[in-house]
Amino acid sequence: MTTPTPRRLRRPDWLPAAAFWTVFGLLALLFVAPLGWLLLASVKTSAEFAQTPPTLLPSSPSLENYRRLLDAGLARNVLNSALVTLGTVVAASVVSVLAGYGFARFRFRFRGVLFLIVLSTLMIPFQSIVPSLYVILDDLNLTNSLAGLVLVYTVFAIPFGIFTMRAAFAAVPAAVEEAAIVDGAGPFATLRRVLLPIVAPGVATVALYAFFTAWNEFLAALIFTTRQEQYTLPVVLANLQSGAGGTLNWGVLETGAVVSAVPCVVIFLILQRYYVAGLTGGAVKE
C-alpha cells in the first residue's frame, strides 16, 4: 500500500450522489417503514388487520381499533403512562437543575464525594437492584402506585440530568452571575431569572431524556405494579399479548404500540436538536 494509487478515470458527477442516495436513502426508508406501516395498519378494521395474507393499504380506514382500545379500558393505562411521565419529567428536571447548579457553582464540604455518589449510579445498572428496590418500595407502600414509579424513574434519570446540567452551568461565564448578585439577587432569584434562560437548552435535553425513560420503561413497571389499573402502557400491552383470559387481538395490541410510539416520535421530531446535542455532548471530550 505504499505506492500512490493512480488517478481513476473521471466518473460523471451525479453517479456517486445517485449511488449514495440509492443505498442510504433506501436504508432510511427501511428504518421508518415499520412505524409507517404500523400507523397505516392501525386504521384497518379488526377483521382486515387479522386477514391472511395482509393487505397493503387499509381498504376502508376506520378508527375501530382505537375504539376497541378504549373499550378494553386502556385509556386508564395511557393516562397512567402520561402521569408517570409528566411527574418524572418535572421531578427529574427540577432535581437536576438544582444539583447541577450546586455542583457547578458552589464550593462546599464533601462536594467531591457527593458528586462521586451520584456518578456511581452510572456504573451500577438499576436492573441489578430490582429485588431490593421492590422490597424498599413495598415497605414505603409505594408498590402499585404511580408515585412509586415516578420516584424510581426520577432516580434513573437524574445522573444523566445532573451531569448535563452541571456542564451547562459551568459553561455560563461567572460574570453573568456576579452581576446579578451584586444587584442584590439571592441565589434562587439568580438561578430562576438569570441563569435558567441561559441553560434552557440543557433543561430541554434533561426533560427529553426523562420523558423517553419514563414513557418507555418496562422492567420496573412490570415488577412494581401488579394490578391492571396501575399498569403503564408497555406493561398492559405485554399482558394483552400473553392473552390472559382471551385470544390475542392484534388490532388492539398494535394500535397500543402506535399510541406508545407516536408521542415519542413527534416530540423527537420537534425537539431533536436538543436531544441529539445532549446525547453527543459529553461523548467527545478528548
Distance of CA 187 to the CA centre of its chain: 31
Whole-number minimum distance, CB 170 to another protein, in Å?
A: 13
Amino acid at 261: A
Whole-number minimum distance, CB 12 to another protein, in Å?
A: 17
- Kindly indicate which of the ranges 43-51, 64-72, 82-90, 196-204 contains the residues binding another protein, using the contact rule CB under 8 A: 43-51
The mark string for 121-150 relative to another protein (x by CB under 8 A, - otherwise) is x-xxxxxxxxxxxxxx--------------
Whole-number minimum distance, CB 48 to another protein, in Å?
A: 10
Host H or E run for residue 216: helix 196-216
**Identity of the residue, 19 or 79, whose beta carbon is nearer to another protein in the bound complex:** 19
118 binds another protein (CB under 8 A): yes
Rounded to whole angstroms, the Cα distance separating 195 from 189 reads: 9
Q: Which of residues 182-201 bind another protein (CB under 8 A)?
A: 182, 184-189
Cα dihedral 55, 57, 59, 64 sign = positive
Smallest Cα–Cα separation from 115: which of 153, 158, 154?
A: 158
The mark string for 238-267 relative to another protein (x by CB under 8 A, - otherwise) is x--x--------x--xx-xx--xx--xx-x
Whole-number minimum distance, CB 222 to another protein, in Å?
A: 8
Selected from 217, 225, 230, 274, the binder of another protein by CB under 8 A is 217
DSSP 4-48: PPPPPPPPPTHHHHHHHIIIIIHHHHHHHHHHHHHHHHTTS-HHH
